[in-house]
Amino acid sequence: MRARIYPLALGKILHHSISNLNQEVAGLMVGKVVSDVVEVWDAVTGLQQSSPAYVKLEESVMALVAEVLVENIPDLYIVGWYHSHPGLNVFMSPIDIETQKAYQAMFPKAIALVIDPVQFSASWKVSDLKIGVFRIDKNEKVVPVRFTLGLQRHKVLESTLIGLQMIDLIPKKPDTNEDAKGSTTKMLDIDSIVKFFSKTKKLLPNKKG
């Protein structure tokens, strides 16, 4: 399996991770699987709890993104997640492994992208970009996934337009007092997520044999 990341998606991940070099940030990657290549068309983020070495995306974010996709862009689905390791380098921590296992349980081809943006943010040299894409194999080992930047012209354009559209489709973080409603944080709507993933599985090419 390989991964192909389109420019706007990579740009959004970079922008998000560089915007907060003191804390980890996380988000979801949206795209599709085309003959064993996981294509990342867009990256979206939402509410999360974070610290310098920990981040957890609220589960409601996945439900929201899934809903937006099903209603507006049914060709695309959640293909994985990204998070940053500012200054910590690129690897999968034990918590990351557990998170990735949960993604792969929902979507067997899910990938995890880890980025350490610190060096790049100082130099803006491509050679300083530290990015890794990973999966967990059958033996529960972390395996790197080879990835390239998507450059096919019409897909760059298509993914860029969809990525721009997503900016308006995903509501901004409510600028509210989270403490006040902390204890009433929405329950994960498991039904809608399960429905979403069973739908995406049907869209996937049958890879038997």
Q: Point out which residues bind Zn ion (CB under 5 A).
A: 93, 96
Least distance from Zn ion to the Cβ atom of residue 53, Å: 8
| Cβ distance to Zn ion smaller for residue 4 or 85 | 85
| Cβ distance to Zn ion smaller for residue 8 or 92 | 92
Three-state SS string over 117-179 comes to CHHHHHHCCHHHCEEEEEEECCCCCEEECEEEECCCHHHHHHHHHHHHHHHHHCCCCCCCCHH
- The residues that bridge with 28 in the sheet, in sequence order, are 44, 81
Least distance from Zn ion to the Cβ atom of residue 135, Å: 15
| Cβ distance to Zn ion smaller for residue 30 or 57 | 57
Nearest residue by C-beta to Zn ion?
Answer: 96
| Cβ distance to Zn ion smaller for residue 93 or 121 | 93
User: Which residue from 60, 54, 5 is spatially nearest to 25, judged by alpha carbons?
Assistant: 54
Least distance from Zn ion to the Cβ atom of residue 61, Å: 17
Least distance from Zn ion to the Cβ atom of residue 93, Å: 5
Cβ contacts of residue 36 below 8 Å, gap of 6+?
1, 2, 207
